[in-house]
Copies of this chain bind each other. A is one copy, B any other.
């Protein structure tokens, strides 16, 4: 992996845009250094700037997209931390530490199968752009709970998209694990396909199993609660084959073989 070697910095940056993307909210931050440095799959620790103590801690947020000086976040307001971020208005200032963590390794050659579930699509937009730029074949399999979340699929440019919803209100009905094996068939003489995934734990577990069954490599971005984002607190661990692994500095993107899946 080629990410995670860039030193992280604490920035205060201004919200330049805020717009709804279906059930989610997209914020654009004026953050040139991060825009310049961040690698697909890396994240930021973000909170509203200022002395307010509730929410107390920043929340991990993937770098969702980059547009010249702007760094975009895509936010699913599931609790008080994400709700506070989603309510930030244009002109408000965010305190942001980043870029953090190890992103996706894009050095492979095979066709990329990008698998996203719900808000897990957030880091996959920048990834998809970067993969396409490298001339890799990209196919996206994006699953959502419902139509309102599925609006986010519209953000993905230029790649083939399989869209699924659990309630059937947009695209096909079902889970991403259903069409996935069909996307992994290796074409004669070509390098094996490779999975890049982000989504709920249950989805990533299914992805890991399918990747193992089909003998392809899968990189997954893991979601855990984090306090520090820089390796200090040991709060973000997930089980590896031998020891716990810190999601913030050893991840958030892991090769599925480097984790333990019960």
Contact = CB atoms under 8 A, between A and B. Distances in A.
- How many copies of the polypeptide does the oligomer hold? 2
Contacts of A54: 52-54
Interface string A37-63: 000000000000000111000000000
Contacts of A52: 54
Interface in A50-105: 52-54
Contacts of A53: 54
A96 to B, nearest CB: 22
A5 to B, nearest CB: 38
A188 B218 CA distance: 99
A83 to B, nearest CB: 9
A53 B52 CA distance: 10
A54 B53 CA distance: 7
A53 B54 CA distance: 7
A132 to B, nearest CB: 42
A52 B50 CA distance: 15
Nearest to A52: B54
A219 to B, nearest CB: 38
A54 B50 CA distance: 13
A53 B84 CA distance: 13
A118 to B, nearest CB: 24
Nearest to A51: B80
A90 B7 CA distance: 42
Nearest to A83: B51
A64 B52 CA distance: 28
A84 to B, nearest CB: 9
A52 B84 CA distance: 10
A195 to B, nearest CB: 40
A167 B52 CA distance: 34
A56 to B, nearest CB: 9
A17 B53 CA distance: 27
Q: Which 3 A-B pairs have the closest CB atoms?
A: A54-B54, A53-B54, A52-B54
3 contacts: A52-B54, A53-B54, A54-B54
